[in-house]
Amino acid sequence: MKKMTAFFNQRFGPVLLLTLIICTVSLITRIVLFVKSLSSIDFSPVHIVGIFLVGLFYDLVVSSFFAIPVALYCWLINDSFYRKKIQRVPLFLLFFIIIFIIITIAGSEIIFWNEFNVRFNFIAVDYLVYTNEVLGNIQESYNMPVIISIVVFVVLFLLFVVRKKLAASQSGSMYFGKRTLYFLSFLLLPLAGYFLVNNRFKNISKNNYINELGGNGVYEFGAAFWNNELDYNRFYLTKNDTANIKILRQQLQTSNATFVQDPLSVERIIKNDSAEKKWNVVLISVESLSGDYLTYFGNKENITPYLDSLIPHSLFFKNFYASGTRTVRGLEALALAITPTPGQSIVRRPNNENMFTMGSVLKNKGYEVNFIYGGNSFFDNMGYFFSHSGYTVLDKRDIPEKLVNHTTAWGVDDEAAFNFCLQQCDKSYADGKLFFNHLMTISNHRPYTYPDGRIDIPSASQSMQGGVKYTDYAIHKFLTDAAAKPWFNNTIFVIVADHCSRSAGKTDLPVNRYHIPCFIYAPRLIMPVMEERLTSQIDLAPTVLGMMNINYTSRFLGFDIYRTPIDRDRVFISTYQNMGFIKNNKLVILSPPKKAALYLPDFLTGAAIQITQEDSLTNDAIAWYQGASYLFKQKKYVFNK
């Protein structure tokens, strides 16, 4: 005890003191959660001791991260200045801020546990995305002025208790070299916590309550943020995996598909009667192109003049729906043709290498396959995902400066990306290769600036309308330039949004906020048709491959709508935690903890009326969502040549 007291009285004493405070608050939190969970815990002495020992381990890891700014302060300030009383102000301020955060988190954890019976996870991360809704709910549910006042009082009380120890640390001296040694030694702790520790260390039991109690909410939040996953089986309604896959196989069965014998797989051989069509494919996924931007769907601002003019000359999907609300979710649907899984898109998940994608199918057929992005492909893990799943990734670093007209924080202008895409098409054609180029646009994104002189809305206005109209202009220019190329008549151009520009609405999953346009344009190859069928974003890849009569072994969960009966039509819409399934004009929403609800949605306004559940629809929804999660986790969605 004397040695510990002596350590409090030297330069880095505040680091130890803060660690002690954080671990104490975490221990109290753990005890409260333990008491709340008494009826659900196996009273094994080993497990109970494990809860608190493992918990202390995670608490120390978290404390080391929070203590970094205090350790930095203790290291940098020289002796003569550090011993002045005025230096107590920044030190006490640091302690006030950190302890305030820790106590606030502790209270939040208890509230979170009351609802979900787990530490922070991706649901908590999700709350950061929907800040307005969450803050509004907190203000309506709790007396925040009183709560904040109590937290401030507790923090000030703790500071009063430890004030002498904090002041004592400023009475000693320590040379810079020794301070540096102490500081570097301390940094080994958070570095080890980051690189060597994961949240699986706490899993000491088959009882989830025990495992969760052994964790630390802050650490779990960080793990959820980086791993971006909500475990489907723990938080959603479940059925037997074999029964789920049986439903999926029935829904995916077509006359040209022969399933493998494995009852827990959707793998099937697609064999067509006629010859494969050796067409090139250019897939343009357009940033935030909501359906209601088009004049065809009622917009009065004339911001998509070219795309509207393209409708009579294309196979146009009138009732086409995005899977999610972010670009990575759209890219997941377009590349993987997989039902959304809770949490983050597979594009950002660990263990997402060698996935079964449209690119991997065409690459296996001898195509040159590129993913082209005008920004930095490091963003949202796009570069890693595509480069490990059959694509060559080309981003703004590969686009020649002479092609660039304008740049923003997101990357280069859409014209530059399209002109670069033309170069890749030319190169493949010159080499005698078929090509599949998937291009992701970026100009229809804040700050909505673009090259001057292209459209009648000045770039300086930084308006969403300008961003949409400029992208429309860039697509027009691209297709006009492509029409002069020798490969044009043998190429299909697919234009589709990644998601809508807005996702908020009157309900948890407003259907109208997922309605997006989709065109397949190829004047010499595809008959113009107004397609009325309800179509999901995950159906695009298998439908395009079906139009080309491609023979392949499929693992897609999307289906070729032209070889699938209309009574199977369904779409999937989702946020990070709400999984929506639309069929027969009804919407099933699966959500944690293990809830399901059925609605009659208004496809125009997004409003919805809750109705009595129908077991058949709920079971179908579970089959698709649980089935997708199962196939991904069991590595049954990887590409095998």
Give domain status of residue 251, yes or no.
yes
Residue whose C-alpha is closest to residue 637's, from 553, 549, 523, 548: 553
Judged against a pLDDT cut of 90, whether residue 491 lies above it is answered with yes
Checking if the pLDDT of 136 tops 60, the result is no
Cα 522 to Cα 175: distance, rounded to the nearest angstrom: 74
pLDDT of residue 106: 93
Helix-helix angle 88-116:122-129, to 10 degrees: 110
How many CB atoms are located within 10 Å of the residue 427 CB? 13
pLDDT band at residue 446 under the 50/70/90 scheme: confident
For helices 176-195 and 45-66, give the axis angle rounded to 10 degrees. Answer: 130
In the beta sheet, which residues pair with residue 408?
411
pLDDT, residue 453, reads: 93
Name the average pLDDT for the chain: 90
Q: How many domains does the chain have?
A: 2
Give the CATH number for residue 457.
3.40.720.10
What is the percentage of the chain residues whose pLDDT exceeds 70? 92
The answer on pLDDT for 239 being more than 70 is: yes
**If you write DSSP's letter for every residue of 252-294 in order, what string do you get?**
H--TTEEE-S-TT---EEE--SSPPP--EEEEEEETT--GGGS
Are residues 213 and 335 located together in one domain of the fold?
Answer: no
Kindly state whether residues 148 and 290 are assigned to the same domain.
no
- Per the CB < 8 A criterion, the answer to whether 618 and 594 are in contact is no
Find residue 304's DSSP bridge partners.
none
503 pLDDT above the threshold of 80: no
Q: Are residues 271 and 401 in the same domain?
A: yes
Residues 222 and 321 in one domain: no
Nearest one of 85, 99, 348, 393 to 229, comparing CA atoms:
348
Distances (CA, A) of 116 to 47, 128, 235, 359: 21, 17, 9, 39
**Edge-to-edge strands, sheet with 435-440:** 392-394, 368-373, 435-440, 280-286, 491-497, 515-521, 315-321, 529-536
Going from the C-alpha of 625 to that of each of 149, 325, 404, 538, 557, the distances in angstroms are: 44, 17, 42, 13, 10
Please say which residue of 173, 199, 227 terminates a domain. Answer: 227
Q: What's the confidence (pLDDT) of residue 11?
A: 75
pLDDT (tens digit, 9 = 90+) per residue, 138-165? 665 668 889 889 999 999 999 999 888 8
Is pLDDT above 70 for 568? yes
- Is 442 a member of any domain? yes
Nearby residues of 371 by Cβ (< 8 Å), 6 or more positions away:
359, 377, 382, 386, 387, 391, 392, 393, 394, 438, 440
DSSP code at position 374: S
Looking at the structure, do residues 178 and 286 belong to the same domain, yes or no?
no
Asked, for residue 234, whether it belongs to a domain, the answer is no
Q: Which of 204, 227, 250 is the last residue of a domain?
A: 227
Percent of the chain exceeding pLDDT 90 equals 69
Specify the amino acid at residue 366.
G
Respond yes or no on whether the N-terminal peptide bond of residue 447 is cis (omega within 30° of 0).
Answer: yes
Query: Is a pLDDT exceeding 70 seen at residue 123?
Result: no
Last residue of a domain, one of 227, 252, 284: 227
Residue 278 pLDDT grade (very low, low, confident, very high; cuts 50, 70, 90): very high
Q: Are 386 and 395 in contact (CB under 8 A)?
A: no
Q: Classify residue 638: in a domain, yes or no.
A: no
Q: Tell me, what DSSP letter sits at residue 576? A: S
Domain presence at residue 80 = yes
Would residue 522 count as lying in a domain? yes
pLDDT value for 5: 58
Tokens for 486, please give them: 């020798």
DSSP 495: E
Q: Between 411 and 368, where is the model more confident?
A: 368
DSSP 521: E
Are residues 107 and 141 located together in one domain of the fold? yes
Amino acid at 514: Y
pLDDT range class, residue 81, cuts 50, 70, 90: low
Establish if 236 belongs to a structural domain: no
pLDDT digits (tens, 9 = 90+) for 580-601: 999 999 999 999 888 999 999 9
E strand or H helix that includes residue 372:
strand 368-373
Q: 232 in a domain, yes or no?
A: no
Domain housing 452 = 241-633
* Same-domain check for residues 253 and 163: no
CB-CB contact of 582 with 509 (8 Å): no
Cα angle value 610/615/617 (rounded, 5°): 70
Query: Quick one: 254 and 168 in the same domain?
Result: no
* Residue 260 and residue 176 share a domain: no
For residues 536 and 620, state if they share a domain.
Answer: yes
Q: Does 291 share its domain with 344?
A: yes
Q: What's 381's DSSP letter?
A: G
Query: Residue 607: its pLDDT value, please?
Result: 85
SS3 sequence of 159-177 = HHHHHHHHHHCCCCCCCHH
Four-CA torsion 68, 71, 73, 75, nearest 10 degrees: -130
User: Residue 130 pLDDT more than 60?
Assistant: no
Provide CB contacts within 8 A for 224, sequence distance 6+. 120, 121, 122, 124, 125, 343
With beta carbons less than 8 A apart as the criterion, state whether 494 and 282 touch.
yes
Least confident segment among 139-143, 194-198, 509-513: 139-143
Tell me how many helices (H) and strands (E) the chain has.
Answer: 22, 18
Q: Give the position of tokens 């072994």.
A: 553
Q: What is the mean pLDDT of residues 80-98?
A: 80
For residue 326, the model assigns a pLDDT of 87
Instruction: Give the pLDDT score at 538.
Output: 98
Residue 528 clears pLDDT 60, i.e. is over it:
yes
Q: Do 83 and 218 have their domain in common?
A: yes
